[in-house]
Amino acid sequence: MKLSFDNQKYIELQSKHIKDRISQFGGKLYLEFGGKLFDDYHASRVLPGFKPDSKLQMLLQLKDKAEIVIVVNTDDIEKNKIRGDLGITYDLDVLRLIDAFKNVGLYVGSVVLTRFESVHPAVTKFERKLTEQGIKIYHHYTIAGYPSNVEKIVSDDGFGKNEYIETERELVIVTGPGPGSGKMAVCLSQLYNDNKRGIKAGYAKFETFPIWNKPLRHPVNLAYEAATADLNDVNMIDPYHLEKYGEMAVNYNRDVEIFPVLDAIFKGIYGTSPYNSPTDMGVNMVGNCIVDDEGVCDASKREMVRRYFDALCACRDDDTERNRNAVQKTELLMQQAGITKNYRKVVEAAKQKSAECGAPAAAIELADGRIITGKATDLLESVSAMLLNALKEITSIPDEIHLLAPEVIEPVQKLKCQYLSRTYKKLNVNEILIALSISAHTSATAAYVLKHLPSLAGCDIHSTVMLPSADMEVLKKLGLNVTCEPKYQIKEIFIG
């Protein structure tokens, strides 16, 4: 795959830019960190060459200067809110983040519980777990009239009643498990309370998307809108930046809408505001590290189609107004980009294969553009067959050679049908990979093919039926970009 993004340049340029922003404020900066710090697969899909852990690697350049403050909304803990991408609750994700940060040598200073009102069993249990790990806990409270009542917010009855977060380092990374955690309010509260203590500090915002120095309708920015279609975020020209500097800059609606309030809060704290626009607050250098704009455009258009099929499948599972709106919005974004769902070549290839064989089918586009298909058989799921066919293709193994011996497959089928009380004996992706790994101990061909599995990372896949979540998770871990038709697979029933 041709790289369109200079990842090393990004790590160096981004870390330098953050250091410069720290200096701008006299040596202490609260950096609101939006988006995913770990596993940013959206960025890696639309910016070929961007590594999923690039932002983490960038922070490691600053680890001696930085400490992490993790913010979580107590409402999300009480309601047992689940992260859709990981399938875990927000409180568990905070614990996961703490471990992940510590494992790479980043210092976690504290956890802030926002919108804290009263004792709740789930919150109490969570606090106990944090205490057992030696993590400091702070409480921030709901401020009536936030964010519009600036006079109350910037007072001892507003930010002043929040517990002051003791920090040790000059760069304070404020992050959280998801949107609505209260990261910005925590940063602003600290500015107010630092100022009361005679400490000079500043605030900046780090969001990867939209890319401020790319056009409003650039595919990479449209792909961001597609990724947040269910949240109804909208990219827009920053009117404050345009008025002040006469330059076009792209931001998104929530930051533009909140800026007058932020500007008033800054003035309430300092007497003046350090920023003239929402774009001024940002420190994102992603747009400066794109080396092949055409490649980014292509990858972003593919991502829009992927998001479209995701929205269709979500709507098929749960036909809500929110999901229907996401489908409609993504369709509109694709129209603006001048593409249809067939922009991903695997879509039509999979449907054509299914029509020919009268069974579910799947297709993969290899890095060199070749399209490989697979169909459901008595033995294999369509994606399993496609995966084996693709591995044969990239290793030049003749089609008539079987990668999996019957003596390996049959015990798996027997286990499924006899001992696990399952009547469906087709092997899924996970089972195929396990069988291939076992075969590799006795088959040089299987071992050779297995070594080439990472070569499929980044490839597009399309299935004519919706895949089980277990299959989707395995394919995601392999780095494959999967879409599915919004159709359920009807599984055959086998007797005895």
| φ and ψ of 405, to 5 deg | -75, 150
Find the mean pLDDT for residues 397-411.
81
Which pLDDT score is estimated for 496?
A: 28
Q: Using only C-alpha atoms, what is the Rg of the chain?
A: 25
Quick check: 140 and 185 in contact, CB under 8 A? yes
Percent of the chain whose pLDDT exceeds 70:
96
| φ and ψ of 138, to 5 deg | -130, 150
Determine the Cα–Cα distance for residues 53 and 459; give it in Å rounded to an integer: 19
Beta bridge partners of 371: 365
* Domain layout of the chain by residue ranges: 7-208, 348-496
Q: What is the mean pLDDT of the chain?
A: 91
- What is the SS3 assignment for 46? helix
Residue 84's pLDDT band (boundaries 50, 70, 90)? Answer: low
Give the model confidence (pLDDT) of 113-171 as tens digits: 999 987 789 999 999 999 999 999 999 999 988 888 899 999 999 999 999 999 999 99
pLDDT above 50 (res 494): no
CATH entry, 348-496, from 3.40.140.40, 3.40.50.1970, 3.30.465.10, 3.50.50.60? 3.40.140.40
Instruction: Show Cβ contacts of residue 397 under 8 Å, excluding neighbours closer than 6 positions.
Output: 391, 403, 445, 449
Which pLDDT score is estimated for 86?
A: 67
State which of 254-268, 302-316, 402-416 shows the largest mean pLDDT.
302-316
Find the mean pLDDT for residues 235-251.
96
Give the model confidence (pLDDT) of 431-449 as tens digits: 899 889 988 888 899 999 9
Q: Which CATH superfamily, name and number, covers 7-208? A: dip2346 domain like (3.10.630.10)
DSSP 8-state symbol, 304 = H
pLDDT above 50 (res 460): yes
Q: Rounded to the nearest 5 degrees, what angle is found at the Cα of 421, between the Cα atoms of 420 and 424?
A: 95
Q: Which amino acid is at 433?
A: L
Q: Provide the CA 174 distance to its chain's centre, in angstroms.
A: 17
Residue 493's pLDDT band (boundaries 50, 70, 90)? Answer: very low
Same fold across 7-208 and 348-496: no
Q: What is the pTM of this model?
A: 0.89
